[in-house]
Chains A and B, each alone.
Chain A
Amino acid sequence: MTVAYFAVLAALTFAAYAVAVRRSSAIAVAGPVRLHSLPAYHGLLAASVVLVPMLLIYLIGSQLVTTLATSNALSQFPADVQSDVMKSGSALRDVRNLAAGQHSGDASPVLTSAAATYSAWLERGTYAIYGAGILAAFLGLAMSLASIKPSFRARTHFESVVNIVLMACAGVAILTTIGIVASVFTETMRFFFDPAIKGRPGVLEFLFGTEWNPQQAMRADQGDIKSAYGFIPLLTGTLLITFIAICVAGPLGLLSAIYLAEYATPKMRKYAKPVLEILAGIPTVVLGFFAALTVAPLVRGAGASIGLDVASESALAAGLVMGMMIIPFISSLSDDVINAVPQSLRDGAFALGATKSETIKQVVLPAALPGIVSAFMLAISRAIGETMIVVMAAGLAANLTINPLDAVTTITVQIKTILVGDQEFDSAKTLAAFALGFVLFFVTLILNFIAQRFVRKYREQYD
């Protein structure tokens, strides 16, 4: 049925376009007056007047119908089922399964009748949507055909359609972001303040605690296991690995960008840049086992040869490989911004007798600074958010240390560890993942803010 609706939608849209184009062309040929807008604009306007309402009615209507069908089906269950979130959720699943014909076992009379109500509402609602959609389409078509006159400014009106469509696309992205943040925020609040959650830490305990051990008693006789949700070891681990990664990628990336942009011949650049960007295309899981199986033993061996005791899973190994991973972000973006610095600035410095390296250091790089800082910020965000490399190479031990030779763990690794396997969403352990996610988001936000302040203070704006 849905397919049929969209087939009708497509057909009506094309038909509207064709009819409107023909109508307006006919006027243009026959009449003595010139059309304000070209026939194609009349066609586009008619098509959008058909397409947009049909789509909107479908999207909004199907939400509405599902809500209505659900509440009507639920109202047939006893009051205790309706009031309990868990029970009503499971009842609804049964209703939907039965309505779809996938219910196993015998169904109770209440369930059968609820499922029948659900199906009936859904069916009626769907027909109503289709009817309303097609009606709206024909109304829109009739209106737009009636408005085809030489003086009608279809070209101007189409601009507002474009405006609305673009705004809607931007809106989807923004609303999604807000939605994600809001959902993470709600769960985080539950983690900290919901009295039903056992073993939850206080906010201060979470933010400043130095022990991370999210163990949970699984059986009654394990009741004395004490879990700890101190966030500090994870933060230091994350920052340590990110710091190592930036120490590797910062100089290498920026210097290779300068080479590519200023020194390399065009031919060299043509081949070298894509090769460098391939590095960004290597899946991080591949880099992860490269880190664990190749780099970590190398680091350990190198450490042993100079008498250092290196853990087999070390922050250094993970940081080095992560640094390799983010080189292309820094080099490619910095290369672009360095190239965007006007040649006239370089000429000005050359004409004063500056050498090439003086020109780059004193004129080109300061002018490109905002872009270079953005490149670094993107790279840092990637490094902070990176999971696979750290899972494989840095380990899970939440050590509070700044020694790069020790095993550490990061925020993302703990989120992943907590959420792998079966979950119950009313335990402190699971909700801790949301709290971690929220703090991670906050850390990145602060870093971005600092970077923007930095750029505003030191930027040298050309042109």
Chain B
Amino acid sequence: MDMTVANRIEAERLAPVTTAAKPAKVTAKDVNVYYGEKHALKHVNVDIPDRGVMSFIGPSGCGKSTFLRCINRMNDTISSCKVTGLITIDNQDIYDPALDVVQLRARVGMVFQKPNPFPKSIYDNVAYGPRIHGLANNKSELDQIVTASLEKAGLWGEVKDRLQDSGTGLSGGQQQRLCIARAIAVNPEVILMDEPCSALDPIATAKIETLIDDLRSNYCIIIVTHSMQQAARVSQRTAFFHLGTLVEEGPTEQIFSMPHDQRTQDYITGRFG
């Protein structure tokens, strides 16, 4: 967006030496986000590895969702929002003006806090993405994509006899898995999840967590969560955000057992947030 050459050099100078074992799928260098005058996200640098789950934790308003929404440029829909810095996926700058944001969002799927199935049939919900991107050449290919996506999302067995029923008639947990199936159907590389279980009961939550665990061998999953237990259960790496800065990032076990930063220590022991 507002990347001048000088900015870019500066961003690269500030970037930390990456220590992640696997090659990074998503990389952020000196990312700042402003909502009007408000500086919502400050100098975030992080490398997110492919084929694994990374969780963002932190108190409300710390910027973790804001950062998540930068990765598929959903913040573009908010007119007062301004993003600076460099975010790359597979070393490609996603804020490059030459990049088609529609194509980007096909590569970076997103699951929202509140299940938001379209008020269409279960089939049409999953088929929506493949249809607009022309992923299927005929009806049987589309059927295959829908079936495969619902299977991957662990919903096939529950809905296979009522694919023409409305997606909004499902239970909350089923709706959320439908949204995950819908995201998977366009064959993304990265899946962003913004507190996907916060509106669900514990049983539905457990199902989604199992599903996330199943999906991580094929996708780069980034999940924002308020529940530290959930972060500990599903993610391999964890990043802790506080007041718009990324305080600490590392393997989940290390973050929860021996964090380097005092603020992380305070947060995970429940002293604030």
Residues of A bordering B, CB below 8 Å = 265, 342, 344-355, 358, 362-363, 366-367, 460-463
Contact = CB atoms under 8 A, between A and B. Distances in A.
B128 A349 contact: yes
Given A348-B112, A352-B106, A353-B102, A462 B119 contact: yes
Contacts of B79: 265
Contacts of B116: 342, 344-345, 347-348
A350 B118 contact: no
Given A350-B77, A351-B74, A460-B120, A344 B133 contact: no
B64 interface: no
B182 interface: yes
Nearest to B186: A352
22 contacts: A265-B79, A342-B116, A346-B77, A347-B77, A347-B112, A347-B116, A349-B128, A350-B77, A351-B74, A352-B105, A352-B128, A352-B186, A353-B106, A353-B133, A354-B102, A362-B132, A363-B118, A367-B118, A460-B119, A461-B119, A461-B166, A463-B168
A57 to B, nearest CB: 54
Interface in B29-84: 72, 74, 77, 79
B186 A353 contact: yes
Contacts of A346: 77
B77 A366 contact: no
A342 B112 CA distance: 13
A461 B114 CA distance: 16
A394 B84 CA distance: 62
Given A363-B118, A460-B166, A461-B119, A352 B183 contact: yes
A460 B102 contact: no
Given A344-B114, A347-B112, A463-B168, A352 B132 contact: yes
A358 B131 CA distance: 11
Contacts of B109: 351-352
B91 interface: no
A353 B105 contact: yes
Interface string B112-131: 10101111100000001100
Given A353-B132, A353-B133, A363-B118, A461 B168 contact: yes
Contacts of A461: 119, 166, 168
B119 A353 contact: no
B77 A352 contact: no
A462 to B, nearest CB: 4
Given A347-B74, A347-B112, A348-B179, A460 B106 contact: no
Contacts, number: 72
> Among the interface residues A350, A352, A367, which one has the most CB atoms of the partner chain B within 10 A?
A352
Interface of B: 72, 74, 77, 79, 102-106, 109-110, 112, 114, 116-120, 128-129, 132-133, 166, 168, 179, 182-183, 186
Contact of A349 (B114, B118, B133): B118
Contacts of B112: 344, 347-348, 351
A354 B104 CA distance: 11
> Among the interface residues B77, B110, B119, B133, which one has the most CB atoms of the partner chain A within 10 A?
B119
Contacts of A355: 102
Contacts of A353: 102-106, 129, 132-133, 186
B230 to A, nearest CB: 21
A349 B109 CA distance: 11
A350 B74 contact: yes
A342 B168 CA distance: 13
Contacts of B104: 353
Contacts of A351: 72, 74, 105, 109-110, 112, 183
Contacts of A354: 102, 128, 132
Nearest to B109: A351
B106 A462 contact: no
A358 B106 CA distance: 14
A461 B120 CA distance: 8
A462 B117 CA distance: 8
Contacts of A344: 112, 114, 116
A352 B120 CA distance: 15
Contacts of B74: 347, 350-351
> Among the interface residues A345, A353, A362, which one has the most CB atoms of the partner chain B within 10 A?
A353
Contacts of B120: 366, 460
Contacts of A345: 116, 118-119
A327 to B, nearest CB: 28
A461 B117 CA distance: 11
A348 to B, nearest CB: 4
B267 to A, nearest CB: 28
B168 A462 contact: yes
B152 to A, nearest CB: 16
Contacts of B128: 349, 352, 354, 362
The 3 A-B residue pairs whose C-beta atoms are closest, nearest first, are A460-B119, A353-B106, A351-B110
B102 to A, nearest CB: 5
A344 B176 CA distance: 13
Contacts of A363: 118
Contacts of A342: 116
A265 B79 CA distance: 9
A360 to B, nearest CB: 13
> Among the interface residues A265, A349, A366, A463, which one has the most CB atoms of the partner chain B within 10 A?
A349
Nearest to A463: B168
A328 B244 CA distance: 45
